[in-house]
Amino acid sequence: MTLFPLFADLAGRPVLVAGGGAVAARKVALLLQAGADVTVGAPQLCEELESQARAGAIRRLHGVFDPQWLDGMWLAIAATDDRAANARVADAATARRIFANVVDDPELSSFQVPSIVDRSPLVVAISSSGTAPVLARRLRERIETLCDHALGPLAGLAARHRARIRAALPGMGARRRFYDWLLDGPVFGLLRQARPQDAEQALLGALADPQQAASPGSVVLVGAGPGDPGLLTLKALRALNEADVILYDRLVSPDILALARRDAERVCVGKRPGENHDATQARIHALLREHAGLGRRVVRLKGGDAFIFGRGGEELECLREHGIAYEVVPGITAALACAAYAGVPLTHRDHSQSVHLVTAHCRESEDTLDWQALASARQTLAFYMGVSRLDTVSAKLIAHGRDAATPCTLVENGTRPEQRVLTATLADLPARASEHGIRAPAMLIVGEVAGLAGRLGWFGSQLEAPRPQELPA
């Protein structure tokens, strides 16, 4: 270890920043966040620093660096664009035994400003000893995804009640278990839901009755998106890393499952063609109740978004009926992701002013759909799970007045490396899909915007370029 890691209390303490440009302004912003008494010395200040000086947020010294500027300072930062001037600041600070940082110049610096993950009062600092700042920045980006923004309020809540926690739980082991419960139990969950008063009441209730700190089970309904792990949300990733049990659908990609906590139990509960889907759903409900009832943190992982043709509402009804705590993490639904990866804007001011999300897989037959409304022009239709019903979709829309030449795009395995995109007319769609062997999972997009896939597509294979007359005018 070449540098000693140190967190400095600068509240109310004088710090000098030599330099008046954008780099200096960034350092000043960090120092002000820490409560430092900042003085900035430079011949000229950028607009941001000028504004702060006029407002009295910082003190200003006008001119080139003078060693007397360091009188009474605790730290110095040299942020000019002149290395020789920065060296003079560093040398003068060293002579006075004042720690100095020269921005982007570790050789002249006696301390480094790290990359920071700020969840105040929790702060994570990453340093490469000034040798690889890009590496430190990339590591900070990864840590950002793992640190929930509710960690700051949680740390603040624990700090406010620290004395009360020590008095109620004098034993070190009991306190450690209590702090684990704060992180794993309802207090953290309530803070995530922006309910700080309820979180504080839960903490106080557990101190009054330690039995309340026994971890109850809970369920997080997580949308995994259409397959590309890069489309997983930060909250979804955190849920996967906290799960004891993961109940996942058949179409959730292995790459996404690989991001989950290594020792989590994984249970595939996906529905398959030909199965009794109601019976499978009943089994899922039973598994949710069973694992949550054992005090486990359960992630119900669904492809796309759980509330778009994913029976998420039915599962929440079951959880609520049985008094099981839950939360929902939305996912990027297939219509949005597949269209984007195929280069199809779902809305376009010249071609489409509305979007309909449609599935024929409902409790009744597809005859319950309002085909007359769906056949209207200048709107986009996104059909989920429609590959086996292409003949029906094509025939019904044409019969109810949709132009047979309307462009359509089929996106097979959307967002995955094996994605294929087929563009055809509404009339030709079933035959062309059969010719190319299109299989589920595939998203069907119907409407004038679908003709743009040939020009705007950027990902995966384009099976057929659309004919010129199929493109929107």
Domain with CATH 3.30.950.10 in the chain: 335-470
pLDDT at position 360: 63
pLDDT at position 464: 67
Q: Which amino acid is at 114?
A: P
Per cent of the chain over pLDDT 90 is 71
Active site residue 367: no
pTM higher than 0.75 for the full model?
A: no
Between CA 29 and CA 325 the distance in angstroms is 41
Q: At what angle do helices 277-293 and 312-321 cross, to 10 degrees?
A: 40
Q: What is the mean pLDDT of residues 219-245?
A: 93
pLDDT at position 18: 97
Q: Of the residues 184, 255, 271, 428, which is catalytic?
A: 271
Q: Of the residues 249, 302, 305, 396, which is catalytic?
A: 249
Q: At what angle do helices 22-33 and 47-55 cross, to 10 degrees?
A: 40
pLDDT at 295 over 50: yes
- Whole-number mean pLDDT of the chain? 91
Q: What is the mean pLDDT of residues 244-250?
A: 94
Among the ranges given (348-352, 384-388, 418-422), the one the predictor scored with the smallest mean pLDDT: 384-388
pLDDT at 180 over 50: yes
Could you write out the DSSP letters of every residue in 246-278? EEE-TTS-HHHHTTS-TT-EEEE----TTS-HH
Q: What is the mean pLDDT of residues 354-380?
A: 82
Q: What is the mean pLDDT of residues 193-197?
A: 94
Work out the pLDDT band at 470, boundaries 50, 70, 90.
very low
pLDDT at 251 over 90: no
Active site residue 396: no
Domain 218-332 fold is Cobalt-precorrin-4 Transmethylase; domain 1 (3.40.1010)
Q: What is the mean pLDDT of residues 257-279?
A: 82
Between CA 397 and CA 296 the distance in angstroms is 48
Domain with CATH 3.40.1010.10 in the chain: 218-332
Domain with CATH 3.40.50.720 in the chain: 14-113
Q: What is the mean pLDDT of residues 439-468?
A: 86
pLDDT at position 361: 63
Residue with the larger pLDDT of the pair 366 and 404: 404
Q: What is the mean pLDDT of residues 301-307?
A: 95
CB atoms within 10 A of CB 297: 23
Q: What is the mean pLDDT of residues 1-29?
A: 93
Q: What is the mean pLDDT of residues 218-245?
A: 93
pLDDT at 177 over 70: yes
Count CA atoms closer than 13 A to 443's CA, side-chain side.
Answer: 30
Token pair in block for residue 79: 């942020």
pLDDT at position 81: 93
Class of domain 14-113: alpha beta
Please, where are the H alpha helices in 59-132?
Answer: 83-95
Q: Which of 229, 230, 273, 221 is nearest to 248 (CA)?
A: 221
Work out the pLDDT band at 214, boundaries 50, 70, 90.
low
Q: What is the mean pLDDT of residues 303-328?
A: 95
Q: What is the mean pLDDT of residues 440-445?
A: 95
Q: Decide which of 3.10.450.40, 3.30.950.10, 3.30.300.30, 3.10.20.30 is the CATH code for 335-470.
A: 3.30.950.10
> Which residue bears the tokens 């720690």?
99
Work out the pLDDT band at 362, boundaries 50, 70, 90.
low
Between CA 154 and CA 188 the distance in angstroms is 7
pLDDT at 473 over 60: no
Q: Is 24 exposed, middle or buried (0-12, 13-18, 19+ CB in 10 A)?
A: buried
Per cent of the chain over pLDDT 70 is 94
